[in-house]
Amino acid sequence: MKLKINLLLAFIFISFAGFSQMKLDGDWKYTFSDDQKYALPSFNDAEWKTKDAAKLQWTDADVKGNGFVIWLRKSVIIPSSMKAELEKTGALMVSLGRIKQEDSAFFNGKSIGATNTSDVKRKYIINEKDILWDKENTIAIRVSHWGQGSSVEQNPIIMSAQPEQLFVMKTAQQSLDPKMLIDVNKPSLFSIGIRNNANRAVEAVLQTTIYDINQKELARSEKEINLNPGDNTFNSDFKSSSTFLKVTYRLNIKNYNYKGLWNDEFGYIDLKYVETNPIIAYKTEEKFNPAKLEQQTVLGWLGERLKANKDERLYKVEEEALLAGFINKPGVHPWIGEHIGKFLEAGCNTYRNTHDKALKIQIDRSAQQLISAQLADGYLGTYNFDSQWTSWDVWSHKYDLVGLLTYYQLTGFKPALDASIKIGDLISSKFGDQSGQLDIIKSGAHVGMAATSIIDPMTDLYRFTGDKKYLDFCYYITKSYDQKNGPKIISTLDSTGRVDKTANAKAYEMLSNIVGLTKLYRLTADKSFLKPVELAWNDIVKNRLYITGTTSSFEHFQDNNLLPAGNEDHMGEGCVTTTWVQLNYQLLCLTGDMKYLNE
């Protein structure tokens, strides 16, 4: 009788698109302590606190002083009637929505999935063999956060697995190395892996299309395949005249009304570099014009550090990890998209100074594979369609522009400029204050400053193209600062002269905008853009600079002369230090004043 009551009262079943959903309503147990044994069904969670399934949210105050982990647990009875739902698609899954920030999920003590970003909806397959029908099952979730609150977006649900979770495409073990040139003298063998998580074999159609660096279709094939439960591998070959190839696989499973997509990219084109300079000059006089990097020889301690950076950092960067989220979305982290642009800028500058052949291969390969991942509308981010233009998406496009324009200037490779133009056109049409456009402030973290910092490379795009719409977009950004929900960078600095009172005092993003304002002043000679820059610089030097030359604690500007420097104080974020140096370089070029060189 007790079991029947539990089955009747514990869960509510609702019909949705022909499938039933088992809502995991009611109390969930939780704790701020951390122990892997919490995943086990045998663990006694009687002393844990409880929260209703509709209110799995924790504020900053809730998590403060309680570490950076929250464990959730719930015991659920899965009735035999859910077997019918399992048979509809071949598996069940737990749907959790988005979680802030990272999570690992367990069912009856066994891992069912993990996600490292808050931007992806969690949908984890439950192994049919692990389900205890009409008995208690334990779902446990380990959530890690950044100390600024946490949440589970939706009421957890058990339901029929969706095709996106059932049929998982991935790069199979290749006879080709993505880092090597495609051999034009013999056919290349390509392999795609498809995992079938359903409990049955499925018929499908697999289409393979091969493109060159310019997205020109070189070949296409189509074949009927049988997907057995578990891992499946399918091969195709092609003799190419290009040393770079992009392979796109399209999977069509009619019985599931499902179409999947996967991309692989191989090789690169060994370019002969032809330097290309901006066509729009700065309006302001340049008081300091440094020697070209090609003409500089750096010795001593600094030379040793630069060599170490090349040998131990640039050589060893994980290109495939940096590019993966562009080639196949989503990325594994909200701002994973920033890194490839940073690498390209650093790599191009280092190559100018060293002419290192191995580094040239790296930057050619990385830039070209990034370019080939761009969508037809110009999108070059790491987010799924339903998450685009949230979180750090504009920020990632900012660093796309930084890297691609640096590569274009070094190489003269026009597809890099074309890709940058597509980004600029997309961003400037997507965001604005006209009907149908998005508000850029709402599309980035830290009072919108992450998104508005794209003002920096937008000034460069204007210089390389002469297209005034990019300059106009920079003006739109400065106007957006003073929206009701904006960071008010210019107006606050003009009135207070304090960076710690500007927006939310986030140092990296604010300095990135200030660098952009400096460049905008150099383009326009409008002193209203220079004034807040100088005020910010003076404030940082006077009140917020450590003796090491950096600034910020916990990534934020602190109060006047408050400079905590213990290990626990997270002083001088590396990105803040770098952007501070970039700002001083811009001001040195503008004024020739040695105080900027001293910094």
pLDDT tens for each residue of 31-73? 999 999 999 999 999 999 999 999 999 999 999 999 999 999 9
Task: Label residue 179 by pLDDT band (50, 70, 90).
Answer: confident
Query: How far is residue 369's CA from residue 178's CA, in Å, rounded to a whole number?
Result: 10
- Asked if residue 458 belongs to a domain, the reply is no
Which of the listed residues 233, 267, 301 is the one where a domain comes to its end?
A: 267
The number of C-alpha atoms within 13 Å of 328 and in the hemisphere containing its C-beta is: 18
Chain length of the chain: 599
Is residue 482 within 8 Å of residue 492, measured between CB atoms? Answer: no
Terminal-residue alpha carbon distance, the chain: 77
Q: Residue range 367-381: average pLDDT?
A: 98
Task: Label residue 177 by pLDDT band (50, 70, 90).
Answer: confident
Bridge partners for 23 per DSSP: 12, 157
Question: Of 149, 156, 119, nearest to 23 (Cα)?
Answer: 156
Query: How far is residue 293's CA from residue 313's CA, in Å, rounded to a whole number?
Result: 19
Q: Are residues 287 and 419 in the same domain?
A: yes
pLDDT at 5: 36
pLDDT at position 409 over 90: yes
Q: Residue range 114-126: average pLDDT?
A: 93
Alpha helix positions (H), 82-230: 83-89, 163-166
- Stated pTM of the model: 0.92
Q: Are residues 142 and 178 in the same domain?
A: no
Q: Residue range 472-486: average pLDDT?
A: 98
- Asked if residue 429 belongs to a domain, the reply is yes
DSSP 10: S
φ/ψ of 96, rounded to 5, equals: -120, -10
Which of the listed residues 384, 412, 445 is the one where a domain comes to its end?
A: 445
DSSP 200: S
pLDDT at position 469 over 50: yes
Q: How far are the Cα atoms of 39, 299, 481 from residue 486, in angstroms, in the given order?
A: 43, 45, 5
φ/ψ of 271, rounded to 5, equals: -85, 150
- Asked if residue 464 belongs to a domain, the reply is no
pLDDT at position 4 over 50: no
pLDDT tens-digit profile of 97-112? 999 999 999 999 999 9
Is residue 209 within 8 Å of residue 246, measured between CB atoms? Answer: no
Find out whether the peptide bond into 41 is cis, omega within 30 degrees of 0.
no
pLDDT over 70 percentage in the chain: 96
Three-class SS of 267-298: ECCCCCCCCCCCCCCCCCCCCCCCCCHHHCCC
Which secondary structure element, helix H or strand E, spans residue 230, and what is its range? Answer: strand 230-238
pLDDT tens-digit profile of 431-460? 999 999 999 999 999 999 999 999 999 999
Query: How far is residue 139's CA from residue 72's CA, in Å, rounded to a whole number?
Result: 8
Strand order through the sheet with 258-267: 217-227, 202-211, 244-253, 258-267
Tokens linked to 334: 């909200």
Query: How far is residue 184's CA from residue 306's CA, in Å, rounded to a whole number?
Result: 37
Is residue 534 within 8 Å of residue 515, measured between CB atoms? Answer: no
Is residue 303 within 8 Å of residue 367, measured between CB atoms? Answer: no
Q: Are residues 244 and 331 in the same domain?
A: no
pLDDT at 35: 98
pLDDT at 482: 97
Find out whether the peptide bond into 290 is cis, omega within 30 degrees of 0.
no
Question: Of 153, 24, 41, 38, nearest to 94 (Cα)?
Answer: 24
pLDDT at position 7 over 50: no
Tokens linked to 325: 């989220």
pLDDT at 325: 97
Is residue 565 within 8 Å of residue 548, measured between CB atoms? Answer: no
Task: Label residue 3 by pLDDT band (50, 70, 90).
Answer: very low
Q: How far are the Cα atoms of 27, 94, 155, 183 from residue 124, in angstroms, in the given order?
A: 21, 5, 14, 40
Task: Label residue 550 by pLDDT band (50, 70, 90).
Answer: very high
3-state class (DSSP) for residue 145: coil
pLDDT tens-digit profile of 185-235? 999 999 999 999 999 999 999 999 999 999 999 999 999 999 999 999 999
Q: Are residues 322 and 363 in the same domain?
A: yes
- CATH code for the domain in which residue 181 is found: 2.60.40.10
Residue 358 neighbours by CB under 8 Å, 6+ apart:
315
Tokens linked to 518: 């400096």
Looking at residue 389, its amino acid is: W
Which of the listed residues 231, 249, 267 is the one where a domain comes to its end?
A: 267
- Asked if residue 47 belongs to a domain, the reply is yes
Q: Domain of 112?
A: 2-160
Q: Residue range 392-398: average pLDDT?
A: 98
Q: Are residues 387 and 262 in the same domain?
A: no
- Asked if residue 225 belongs to a domain, the reply is yes
Q: Residue range 123-129: average pLDDT?
A: 96
pLDDT at 13: 40
Question: Of 190, 165, 176, nearest to 89 (Cα)?
Answer: 165
pLDDT at 110: 98
Query: How far is residue 348's CA from residue 272's CA, in Å, rounded to a whole number?
Result: 14
Please give the tally of structural domains in the chain. 4
pLDDT at position 20 over 80: no
Query: How far is residue 278's CA from residue 517's CA, in Å, rounded to a whole number?
Result: 18
Q: Are residues 380 and 319 in the same domain?
A: yes
- CATH code for the domain in which residue 136 is found: 2.60.120.260
Bridge partners for 203 per DSSP: 226
Q: Are residues 154 and 71 in the same domain?
A: yes
Tokens linked to 122: 């969690």
The Cα diameter of the chain in Å comes to: 87
pLDDT at 313: 97
- Asked if residue 465 belongs to a domain, the reply is no
- Asked if residue 482 belongs to a domain, the reply is no
Is residue 156 within 8 Å of residue 126, measured between CB atoms? Answer: no
Q: Are residues 149 and 175 in the same domain?
A: no
Question: Of 76, 81, 118, nearest to 96 (Cα)?
Answer: 118
Q: How far are the Cα atoms of 6, 21, 138, 206, 368 from residue 9, in angstroms, in the given order?
A: 5, 15, 18, 45, 58
Tokens linked to 133: 């029908």
Question: Of 235, 352, 217, 229, nearest to 297 (Cα)?
Answer: 352
Is residue 395 within 8 Å of residue 512, measured between CB atoms? Answer: no
Q: Residue range 413-440: average pLDDT?
A: 98
Task: Label residue 14 by pLDDT band (50, 70, 90).
Answer: very low
Q: Are residues 315 and 428 in the same domain?
A: yes
pLDDT over 90 percentage in the chain: 92
Tokens linked to 354: 């060293």
pLDDT at 8: 37
How many other CB atoms are there within 10 angstroms of residue 521's CB atom?
A: 24
pLDDT at 520: 99
- Asked if residue 461 belongs to a domain, the reply is no
Q: Are residues 240 and 96 in the same domain?
A: no
Find tokens 């940096």 and name the residue.
Answer: 322
pLDDT at 2: 38
Task: Label residue 374 by pLDDT band (50, 70, 90).
Answer: very high
Find out whether the peptide bond into 101 is cis, omega within 30 degrees of 0.
yes
Q: Are residues 147 and 206 in the same domain?
A: no
Q: Are residues 402 and 334 in the same domain?
A: yes
DSSP 174: P
Tokens linked to 575: 């990105």
Is residue 333 within 8 Å of residue 116, measured between CB atoms? Answer: yes
pLDDT at position 557 over 70: yes
